Every structure is written in structure tokens, then in C-alpha cells.
């Protein structure tokens, strides 16, 4: 583990970088960390979340979320299907969810107040999985690595775990350190891309892509003082709803084909 973190820090210092093409065809700068390092950081962040937050003991709720995740994962490209995906339902009234590299999905119980059927829940989770399969975490970390902030986070990661010189930075960063790497803000471009990728994914899995529109409308109505991440980067939620609605129409044939070929989710 120490070797891993040191190599992450070294790669960061050298600002190693590669380009790839995102699912919607944009050029991405990635590669400051390897996929294996990213998966390991995802697993660590998930472990931190589980150590900090109570998990739901409602077996029906837990199997409902797992069912939606499984049905979405079943239609992912092979690379992601082979990952063993893990889900957790956290007791928290915020309508929130996240997905991490390494196949980790977390859902807050508050999500059920806005995701009122399995298709709406699939819309949220597919959006989050969309960030993972579009390499948005890699892209964000690569960008951050080239700044003091990124190096600081890595120093913090090293210091906190091994009590080395950077421990003070760790205190300043606070909270879960691996999680810190993943709460870097999404760009608006990434949000739109996760919307596109997620809505395609839900249709291919046999979830009604039109329900994404209702989900985001419920989300806006729920509002609240702390908007969830998918609202925070969108200054104009109504235009986002408009885009989801116009894309939904185009995805209905793909949805119907999925249903006809046996993708008929029965999660709850
Ligand atoms: Zn998002």
C-alpha cells in the first residue's frame, strides 16, 4: 500500500498524462493514476464512508438498490461487467447517491423521497455509474495532480497513513482522505456527459428513460439548502430537464428493444 501511494505521488509530481476519448467523443486528459490505483482509492473511499455512516438495516431497501445496480451493470461494456460491484444504503435524509471506481455504489435513504419508482432510482444510479465509466474520476484527479491541491491531497494521504511529515496537511484536509480525492467538483461538461451516458444505460437495461425527466423534476422540487452534486453544477436545471426530455424520446426504441429481448427489471 505504501508503494502504491508513493508511486501515485511520484506520478503526480511528474504530471504524467495521457489522452483518451470520452463516450461522447471529447478528448480527455487522464492517466495521472493507473486504473488499479484508481480502483484501490475507490475501495478505500468506500470503506471510509462505511466507517463513518450508518447503513440501512431494511433488507427490502438494500435488495431493491442492489437489484437496480445489478440490472444496470448487466449491460455495461465487458470491462465494467467483470468488476464485482458492491452497494451500500446509508441512513441519511439527503437525496444523494455516488459511484466510485472499483465498482462501488452508495445510495442515501433520502433518495427514496425523490426516486419514487425503480426507473427513477435507475436514473440516479445510472448517472453516477456514467461518471465512472466515462473516466471522470481519473480526469478530475489528473487535473488536480497538476496543481498544489492535488499534491497536497496525496501528501495528506501519505502522511495520515504513515505518520510522516505531511500529517499536518492531513489535518487541514480533514475527514476521509481517499474520499477527498473524489469530492473534487465535477465540471459542467462531466455532468452533461453523465446525463447522456446514464440515460442511454438505463434504456439499454430496460428502465424507462422518460422517468429521468420526472426524477430530476422531483429533485428540483425537493430543493433544500444543500443541493445534491448533480444540481450544484447546473445553474439552469430547466434546460437540463429539456435535454433529458428530448433525448428520452430518441431512446424509447432502444428501451423497447431491451424489454423485448428480456431486460425487464423487477426490482420494486
Ligand atoms: Zn453527476
Strand 104-108 to 27-30 pairing:
unpaired
Question: What local confidence, expressed as pLDDT, does residue 178 receive?
Answer: 60
Q: For residue 229, how far is its CA from the centre of ligand 1 (angstroms)?
A: 6
Question: What local confidence, expressed as pLDDT, does residue 108 receive?
Answer: 95
Q: For residue 174, how far is its CA from the centre of ligand 1 (angstroms)?
A: 23
Question: What local confidence, expressed as pLDDT, does residue 123 receive?
Answer: 97
Angle value at C-alpha 184, between 88 and 55, nearest 5 degrees: 15
Q: Closest Cα partner for 228 from 212, 240, 216? A: 216
pLDDT class of 61 with cuts at 50, 70, 90: very high
Q: For residue 77, how far is its CA from the centre of ligand 1 (angstroms)?
A: 20
The verdict on pTM exceeding 0.75 is yes
Positions annotated as catalytic residues are 128
Q: For residue 194, how far is its CA from the centre of ligand 1 (angstroms)?
A: 6
Cross-strand partners of 106: 88, 98
Cross-strand partners of 28: 20
Question: What local confidence, expressed as pLDDT, does residue 30 receive?
Answer: 84
> Could you tell me where the DSSP H helices lie in the chain?
2-13, 35-52, 59-73, 78-81, 118-133, 136-145, 148-162, 167-173, 177-182, 188-204, 211-222, 229-232, 237-260
Question: What local confidence, expressed as pLDDT, does residue 187 receive?
Answer: 77
Residue 215 clears pLDDT 50, i.e. is over it:
yes
Q: For residue 167, how far is its CA from the centre of ligand 1 (angstroms)?
A: 31
Question: What local confidence, expressed as pLDDT, does residue 193 receive?
Answer: 93
- What's the pLDDT tens digit per position in 123-182? 999 999 999 999 998 888 787 766 655 555 555 555 444 444 333 333 334 445 566 666
Q: Any idea which residue has 494521504 for its cell?
A: 157
Main-chain phi, psi angles of 54, to 5 degrees: -70, 145
- What's the pLDDT tens digit per position in 217-266? 898 888 755 555 555 555 577 788 899 999 999 999 999 999 999 999 99
Question: Residue 191 is placed in which grid cell?
Answer: 455532468
Q: What is the mean pLDDT of residues 204-216?
A: 96
Angle value at C-alpha 56, between 51 and 59, nearest 5 degrees: 130
- What's the pLDDT tens digit per position in 63-101? 999 999 999 999 999 989 999 999 999 999 988 899 999
Tell me the C-alpha distance between 154 and 160, whole Å.
10
Tell me the C-alpha distance between 96 and 183, whole Å.
13
Amino acid at each position: 500500500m505504501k508503494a502504491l501511494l508513493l508511486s501515485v505521488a511520484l506520478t503526480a509530481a511528474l504530471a504524467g498524462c495521457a489522452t483518451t476519448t470520452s463516450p461522447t467523443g471529447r478528448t480527455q486528459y487522464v492517466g495521472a493514476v493507473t486504473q488499479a490505483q484508481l480502483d484501490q482509492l475507490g475501495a478505500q473511499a468506500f470503506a471510509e464512508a462505511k466507517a463513518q455512516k450508518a447503513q440501512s438495516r431494511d433488507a427490502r431497501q438494500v435488495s431493491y438498490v442492489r437489484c437496480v445496480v445489478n440490472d444496470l451493470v448487466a449491460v455495461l461494456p465487458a470491462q465494467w461487467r467483470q468488476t464485482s460491484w458492491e452497494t451500500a444504503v446509508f441512513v441519511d435524509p439527503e437525496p444523494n447517491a455516488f459511484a466510485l471506481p472499483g465498482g462501488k455504489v452508495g445510495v442515501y435513504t433520502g433518495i427514496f423521497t425523490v426516486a419514487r419508482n425503480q426507473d427513477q432510482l435507475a436514473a440516479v444510479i445510472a448517472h453516477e455509474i456514467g461518471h465512472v465509466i466515462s473516466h471522470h474520476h481519473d480526469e478530475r484527479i489528473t487535473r488536480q495532480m497538476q496543481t498544489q491541491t492535488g499534491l497536497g491531497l496525496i501528501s495528506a494521504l501519505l502522511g495520515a497513513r504513515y505518520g510522516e511529515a505531511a500529517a499536518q496537511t492531513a489535518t487541514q484536509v480533514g475527514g476521509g482522505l481517499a474520499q477527498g480525492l473524489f469530492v473534487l467538483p465535477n465540471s459542467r461538461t462531466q455532468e452533461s456527459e453523465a446525463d447522456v451516458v446514464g440515460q442511454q444505460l438505463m434504456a439499454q437495461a430496460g428502465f424507462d428513460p422518460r422517468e429521468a425527466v420526472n426524477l430530476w423534476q422531483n429533485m428540483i422540487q425537493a430543493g433544500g439548502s444543500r443541493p445534491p452534486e448533480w444540481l450544484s453544477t447546473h445553474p439552469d436545471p430547466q434546460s437540463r430537464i429539456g435535454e433529458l426530455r428530448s433525448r428520452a424520446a430518441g431512446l424509447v426504441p432502444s428501451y423497447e428493444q431491451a424489454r423485448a429481448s428480456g431486460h425487464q427489471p423487477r426490482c420494486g
